[in-house]
Chains A and B, each alone.
Chain A
Amino acid sequence: MVVMLNFASKLEIDASAETFLLKGDKELEFTRKIGKIFTSTDFLVLTYSTDDDLLSDKNIEIIQQLSSKISLSLDVESIYSIVNVPLLQSPPRPIKELVNDVQVLTSQGIDKSLAKKEFLNSELYKNNLVSDDFKTTLLMINLKRDEKYFALIQKRDHFEYLKTLDSLTQKQKTEFENITKELKTYRDKLRNKNHDLIVYIRSIKKEFELKYPIKLHLGGANMIADDMVEFVKSDLATFGFAVVFLLIFILYILFRELRWVFIPLFICSVSIIITSGFFGLFQWEITVISSNFISLQLIMNMSLVVHLIVKYKELFTLHPSTEHKQLLEETTLSMLKPSFFVILTTIAGFSSLVFSDMLPIITFGWMMSVGIVISLITTFILFPIVLIFLGKSKKQNISNTHKSYMLKGANVALEYKKTILFITTIVLLFSISGATKLQVENCFIDYFKKETQIYQGMRFIDQNLGGTTPLDIIITFKENSDDVESIIVQNEVVEDELDSFEDEFETSEEEKEIYWFTKSKMDKIKAVHNYLDSLEPVGKVLSLATLLDVGKSLNDGKELDGLTLALIHKELPIEYKKIVISPYVNLEHNMARISTRVIDSLETLKRDEFLKKLNKDLQKMFNPSYEEYRVSNLLVIYNNMLQSLFDSQIKSIGLVLVILFIMFLILFKDIKIAIIALIANTVPVSIVFGFMGWLNMPLDMMTITIAAISIGIAVDDTIHYIHRFQNEYRETQNIRISILNTHQSIGKAMFYTSTIIIVGFSVLLLSNFIPTITFSFLTIIAMFMAIVADLLLLPILLIFIEKK
């Protein structure tokens, strides 16, 4: 225990982008490559709102102070704000002059009314750096790009690639292991650094908000990850105790004896500690997805213990004079078989997760499987041991109230068969119709409650400052093909004069960059830019076309020619080039990037459909012989991940049902009963999907695991019920009596388990983190429907096959 506790303390929570990845995701690799080529860094966004004039001396001073204070952090590379971005049109000047003497808001003699006009109208800044009402601006905090981190990833990916080819030498294998370890340590370090930075900026934010009449919001992709971890952690802390308290309460209400409160909690705690220790030992990290493992293991384990308790009490009531040891032996032995199968089927349910392509989901599948096995072993070892220590219970019997409720329940099932079947049909119709409405969507903003800082910040940026989720179109212009020139013309005239100049105008490799800015390229970039701008879900679009547009207005409305662009590229000081050119073109790689942000909070946004349409439309705009495009960045990565998750889940549910069916067959040795068991299980699972569909809850990375979880939960009750029923039937040979007996015995245990879990989980509905709320809501539904289906529907189905 102590050893495991020690390992458990090393258990880590990680919600970084890395944890959401598909194995060997090409999109991610590409996005990383693009990030490197266009030297784009991670960034945080701090919005700055004031009722005062944004450009007043006071505000400028505050923004300067804010920037310099944040810049003190070693992780900050630079900060762009209205104070230091280049002003190109205040006043409009010839490009030649502009390039050599770039002005900013704080330059001497700058006309603020012109600057305001520029911020509000320039394609570069409007709806991006300032909001339309000119009450809000943002500070873009660029974080230092950690080359070591990316180098480590690259090395690891290389080894992983070699591994898929089976061509790792022994030496490489060791190296691979070392790199993986190093990467992990380094990533943890970075994550802490990132967290510290966010905490630091938040403290500055607080300080400034107290000191000045301004409102600040912090946002950015890095913050989503960090906040998720914080929410999960705070949930564990806040609700962990509440859940435990409620469990104590409900256990006491049901069993009226302290030992039956202590034993389940003790066994569950030990299991969870040992499991956490294993995870720490294997270095399996808790991600947002697996953050529920404690709750889930609690459910499974509680169910195991409660069944043992009820069995023990039942035997005790029947044979009060039997030896304590013998009582325990009988209890554990009679429950071992169903419990073992319960665990096996639950593992089967969770194993569906292992078929997904996403590492955290796979890990979650393994985690749950390991956890459940540990629970089984711990429970069956500790239950008898603890009870031997505690001695025989003094209280012989418990109130018969629950027993009589069970009897009533059984009678309801037996009396109202038609009604129950009718309701089941309606429930199934509800579920099926709901399931058809299911959507696969991933909206990050919706993970957080409206009152949270992150929600408000993200929503504000989303709606006033041009969207949040980055989406890039990368255009690669292929190397100039010489096909056009190699046309052989019959009437070729030898022109000596021309030939003598030929060598002079061959563009050398070094010069290629200078002559990169051709009209064809610019036209293509503009076309794609304008197309993206016309799409409703797309907020701000930035590309070289933005600069061209600004340039055009400086050039008396005439488009900038290749010569001027080449000159701007050559002459513009590097600090401004970093803002207006380098993020959008890379001459060395012959690439242009059209960078957009998608409005995440747009309710009509269907991400997958949107991306499909985007690809279809873009395909028409490109000639693959000369230019290629690729859609990349976060929106694509998450969408791909989600789609592949959805596919693998849907496919694996089928597989899981087959596995379950085979297990039922082995356990019950009766094909009809196996079919019935399967039907009784599909009802709770389907209703979970029904609710999700009708309540417009999208299937996202958090909810997608719910199918596996609800199968895992539902199956437990079914196995216990049928196993007991078969035993009863063997003795009585009377189906009605068997049902009544089963209801009164194991039915009670099932009812207890469900009540405990439903009450315990209801606390989580108060969480701040929407995925936790969704998860607990759906678990409660699954739990409730499982018990209802097993106590009301299952008996009817059993009678039905008996008649046949």
Chain B
Amino acid sequence: MFKKVLFILISLTILNQNLMANEQKNLKEHFLKKIAEVIVIVKNKENNKSMRNSKIVATLTPMFDFELMAKLSLGKTWKTLTAIEKKKFVSLYVERMKKSYSSKIDSYSDEKVEISSLIQPKNNRIKLITNLVSQNEKLEVVYKFYKPKKQKTNKDRWLVYDVIILGVSIIKTDKAQFKEFLQTNNISELMKQISAN
């Protein structure tokens, strides 16, 4: 009896590991595919700047859970928001995220994206460690993915919820900003500020 249980347990673990390995492989491939798509858009000289940026945003948006990022960046304050405020905040945040992403693309020159490693700390979390390689340097960018219980509409299965550039987390940066701003201001002022920038 005991042997049976042990056998089942071991085979389940192996199966799980296989599944995980599979998922990791898929994610890597998917990610590189997306990057390749972005590079094609960037290199296409026919696109003007705003066309190019909107195409890139359209390509990348399914990979990002901006909504979750918005919530995370507000921390505990999120729970204090009314439903209307929540909705408004998310839409403003998403808009800001896209804008900021676009401006980062503007400074893109000939860097290549390489995946250096992948860590899966939990079943539903993956850290994809990449390097942005240019002629004379390497820049480490970590994408944090999670797998929602249910796939969200128009979204990938695995979604990015934080990006860490050289050890600096986008969410933590925003969280620190918002938290401090909210010490002396209320949420509607924060939203005003976000939309102004």
Interface of A toward B, CB cutoff 8 Å:
94, 96, 100-101, 480-481, 483-485, 487, 489, 491-493, 495, 497-498, 501-502, 504-505, 507, 511, 514-516, 518-521, 556, 558-559, 561-563, 566-567, 570-571, 623, 625-626
Contacts and interface: CB of A to CB of B under 8 A. Distances in A.
Contacts of B175: 505, 507, 515
A570 B166 contact: yes
B172 A484 contact: no
A563 B80 CA distance: 26
Contact of A520 (B72, B78, B136, B180): B180
Given A480-B179, A520-B180, A520-B184, A489 B80 contact: yes
Contacts of A623: 184
Contacts of B171: 505
12 contacts: A480-B183, A487-B80, A497-B148, A498-B68, A515-B168, A515-B173, A518-B176, A519-B177, A520-B183, A559-B197, A563-B168, A570-B168
Contact of A501 (B139, B161, B166): B161
A563 B165 CA distance: 9
B90 to A, nearest CB: 13
A505 B181 contact: no
A581 to B, nearest CB: 16
Contacts of B181: 518-520
Contacts, number: 105
Interface in B149-194: 149, 161-162, 165-177, 179-184, 193
A505 B167 contact: no
B48 interface: no
Contacts of B161: 501
Contact of B100 (A481, A556, A561): A561
Contacts of A485: 75-77, 179
A504 B72 CA distance: 10
Given A498-B68, A505-B172, A563-B168, 7 more contacts: A485-B179, A497-B148, A498-B72, A501-B161, A515-B168, A570-B168, A626-B183
B34 interface: no
A497 B175 CA distance: 18
Q: Which 3 A-B pairs have the closest CB atoms?
A: A515-B176, A485-B76, A520-B180
A120 B75 CA distance: 45
Nearest to A493: B79
B28 interface: no
Contact of B72 (A487, A501, A556, A571): A501
Contacts of A484: 77, 179, 182-183
Contacts of A516: 176
Contacts of A481: 183
Given A484-B182, A567-B165, A570-B168, A507 B78 contact: no
A563 B183 contact: no
Nearest to A571: B166
Contact of A498 (B71, B162, B170): B71
Contacts of A519: 177, 180-181, 193
Given A489-B79, A505-B72, A626 B107 contact: no
Contacts of B184: 520, 623, 626
Interface of B: 68, 71-72, 75-80, 82, 100, 103, 106-107, 136-137, 139, 146, 148-149, 161-162, 165-177, 179-184, 193, 197
B182 to A, nearest CB: 5
Contacts of A480: 179-180, 183
B193 to A, nearest CB: 8
Contacts of A483: 183
Given A501-B72, A570-B168, A562 B173 contact: yes
Given A518-B181, A626-B183, A495 B176 contact: no
A295 B92 CA distance: 77
A505 B75 contact: yes
Contacts of B180: 480, 518-521
A511 to B, nearest CB: 7
Contacts of B183: 480-481, 483-484, 520, 625-626
Contacts of A518: 176-177, 180-181
Nearest to B132: A96
A567 B75 contact: no
Contact of A514 (B78, B100, B167, B197): B167
A648 to B, nearest CB: 41
A572 to B, nearest CB: 12
Contacts of A507: 172, 175-176
A559 B197 CA distance: 9
A498 B107 contact: no
A255 B181 CA distance: 84
Residue in A94, A100, A518 whose Cβ sees the most chain B Cβ within 10 Å: A518
Contacts of A487: 80
A736 B149 CA distance: 118
Nearest to A95: B107
Contacts of A570: 166-168
A559 B172 CA distance: 19
A529 B79 CA distance: 37
Contacts of B168: 514-515, 563, 566-567, 570
Nearest to A100: B137
A670 to B, nearest CB: 71
A673 B99 CA distance: 90
A93 to B, nearest CB: 10
A561 B177 CA distance: 10
A141 to B, nearest CB: 34
B166 A562 contact: no
Contacts of B165: 563, 567
A487 B165 CA distance: 32
B166 A495 contact: no
A566 B68 CA distance: 23
A563 B107 contact: no
A567 B166 contact: yes
A122 B176 CA distance: 30
Interface centre among B103, B136, B168, B174 (most CB of A within 10 A): B168
Contacts of B139: 96
Contacts of B197: 559
Of the listed residues A101, A497, A498, A570, the one surrounded by the most CB atoms of chain B closer than 10 A to its CB is: A498
Nearest to B76: A485
A562 B172 CA distance: 10
Contacts of A571: 166
B190 to A, nearest CB: 10
Contacts of A626: 183-184
